[in-house]
Structure 1
């Protein structure tokens, strides 16, 4: 009998922890045990269809977490009560992967209705995308709930633009509870993905902290005016492989964005760039830690928010 009451006590502790405490990697172990497998399979299929999608889904999670916390708000369409984040400067004409999230959500709703949040889907998808492209894995903390509102104005002020200087980048991350080290580490996500001409035009024409030959090669496809939507790889050498070449590029003044090169420009962040450029294992280890930390920014828990049935709109 004593063992029985002890077991009940432990179950109550776990239930309380999961409903009111921190996020847990085992959150869906009993309510939707197939959740992780469903997301992993869908991500593998999406990246097989379009390799670029991995970077897009990783970016989704970051742009969600940096705006009022990791609450799935980036996925909401505009409605009568708010203008959402999809048309914010950092997302307009660049945020991608909504259809992939829709597919994953539909599969999860069929398997375990009303259980897995859209915010958690973004967190799992980010991890699985990194792994699929050769990067590190980590145990994703789960149990977030979804917001019922979004804000384009907050997105415009919370997500630093590619023209940001180092001071602005640091301030932006510290405001989210992230350190200077997290800034450099998470910027390593730019080892995959693409950027539009409008994002790096100023860097390749008006700045000196860039390799001249690198700038000239980009100017051939991104003129001073026009071709705004032309894309360039954030890491020209291996844009579909998650590795540490992003940092090696910074050492050679070949960062595509102004904000990238700011991380190696004679200041406090140079130390971390040098370390990651020479040690892939260290970068992978620290990236996993920083992703977990970012994923824990102001998650909605308990009775806050909701579990959206459709990630694009509130229930």
Structure 2
């Protein structure tokens, strides 16, 4: 199987990401947003677009090209991909201003709910011949006062050694390199997996066309995705990266932070080990 045959298309990724978002949205407890707030935010967004048109002297041809592109994004189901890559990092930055505990990062478009539940010391589901450098990721979940958080769980997922996510690449079995790990009563966990590879966001659709037209690159550095949660605490959505990794300083999603970079240590047997403690704050 060639890399081209393996690669998930933008349509595949867009469809999966859209469905996952809709499921999460149905389960959300978010309250209704007031008309005043909608008017304020949408008005500011439109004002920014108007200012860009004026300052860049956008032509009718450019406007029509933008309209066609927006239509293609919708028809291809790529809004989750586009918004998660190019917009979410700023929303997360604003949210972080009022938060304590572990630094957050973007959720991204490749989250899938309802994954297999695993004990505190466990391995993520893998293929028998899973490629990649073995990685042990361990640590502890504490509260802001340093106490272990009872009932904490880590929803973890990441790309494989070729940079593909299960559920978004047709050649991958469902559920691999994904799981919900239940920390022990002392808040400890130890997860066996493989080190993920950097990946490029799908470029065969309108989001890729925009990236090419703008002269940008489509790469994200290798990372682990995590949602860490516990009853009575604010959940943390974050990503952990690897020191020395490609694209770490030029992430297309602009989601990297120094506090979120791991430095795995060799265990002498071909395995890497990295430890990271999470700090949860009480729910507001």
Q: TM-score, normalised by structure 2?
A: 0.22
Higher helix share: 1
Which of the two has greater strand per residue?
2
